[in-house]
A and B are shown apart, each in its own frame.
Chain A
Amino acid sequence: MVTQAGPSRARPLWVACALGVLAVSMIAALLDGAADISPWQVVLQVVDWLPFTEVDSGLAPVEQGLLFELRLPRVLVAAVVGGLLAMAGAGYQGVFRNPLADPYLLGAAAGAGLAATAAIVLLPSVAGSIPVAAFLGAVGGVFLAYTLGNTAGRAGGTATLVLAGVAVTSFLTAIQTFVQQFKVEELQRIYSWILGDVGGGWDQLWLVLPYAAVSAVLLLLHGRMLDVLSVGDEEATSLGLRAARVRLMVLIAASLATAAAVAVSGLIGFVGIVVPHVVRRIAGGSYRIVLPLSLIGGAAFLVLADLVARTVIAPAELPIGVVTMFVGAPFFVAVLRMTRRAGT
Chain B
Amino acid sequence: MRPVRTAFAGALLGTLLLAGCGQGGTTTTASAPTTTAPASSPGAFPVTIEAGNGKVTITKKPERIVSLSATHTETLFAIGAGPQVIAVDEQSNYPPEAPKTDLSGFKPNVEAIVAQKPDLVIVSDDLDKVVAELGKVNVPVLLQPAATKLDEAYEEIAELGAATGNQAKADEVVAGMKAAIDELAAKAPKDKRLTYYHELDTTPYAATSKTFLGQIYGLFGLTNIADKAPDAAGGYPKLSAEFVAQADPDLIFLADVKCCRQSKDTLAERPGWQNLSAIKNDQVVQLDDDIASRWGPRVVDLAEAIGAAVSKAGTS
Contacts and interface: CB of A to CB of B under 8 A. Distances in A.
A235 interface: no
Interface in B101-146: 104, 106-107
Given A70-B245, A304-B17, A34 B271 contact: no
B125 to A, nearest CB: 12
Chain A CB count within 10 A is highest, among B17, B106, B107, B271, for: B271
A18 B7 CA distance: 8
A252 B232 CA distance: 42
A301 B237 CA distance: 25
Contacts of A231: none
Given A181-B107, A322-B24, A189 B274 contact: no
Interface string A21-32: 100110000000
Interface residues of A, number: 62
A188 B293 CA distance: 14
Contact of B6 (A18, A68, A188): A18
Interface string A1-24: 000000000100110011011001
Contacts of A304: 13-14, 17
A225 B168 CA distance: 82
B10 interface: yes
Interface stretch (A167-175, A216-224, A238-246, A310-318): A310-318
Interface stretch (B51-59, B151-159, B198-206, B298-306): B198-206
A163 to B, nearest CB: 31
B242 A312 contact: no
A181 B90 CA distance: 12
B246 A66 contact: yes
Contacts of A185: 91, 259
Interface in B203-239: 203, 205, 226, 228-230, 232-233, 237-239
B237 to A, nearest CB: 4
A314 B24 contact: no
Contact of B243 (A301, A315, A318): A315
Interface string A185-228: 11011001000010111110000000000000000000000000
Interface residues of B, number: 53
A17 B239 contact: no
Contacts of A113: none
A70 B271 contact: yes
Contacts of B106: 181, 184
Nearest to B11: A21
B50 to A, nearest CB: 29
Contacts of A24: 10
Contacts of B18: 308, 312
A278 B203 contact: no
B4 to A, nearest CB: 9
Contacts of B203: 188-189, 192, 197
Nearest to B225: A315
Contact of A313 (B5, B233, B272): B233
Contacts of A10: 2
- Name the residue in A33, A69, A192, A201 with the highest tally of chain B Cβ atoms < 10 Å from its Cβ: A69
Given A14-B6, A188-B205, A282-B9, A66 B242 contact: yes
A252 B63 CA distance: 63
B238 A199 contact: no
Given A62-B275, A326-B24, A316 B2 contact: no
B6 A63 contact: no
Nearest to A186: B259
B25 A35 contact: no
B272 A301 contact: no
A58 interface: no
A319 B3 contact: no
A305 interface: yes
Interface string B1-44: 01101110110011011101110110000000000000000000
Contacts of A186: 259
B241 interface: yes
B106 to A, nearest CB: 4
A36 interface: yes
Contacts of B246: 34-37, 62-63, 66
17 contacts: A10-B2, A17-B6, A21-B6, A24-B10, A35-B242, A62-B245, A124-B260, A188-B200, A189-B203, A197-B203, A309-B21, A313-B230, A315-B247, A316-B232, A326-B20, A327-B16, A327-B17
Given A185-B91, A188-B200, 10 more contacts: A35-B240, A65-B245, A68-B272, A202-B271, A203-B271, A304-B14, A312-B24, A315-B229, A315-B240, A318-B238
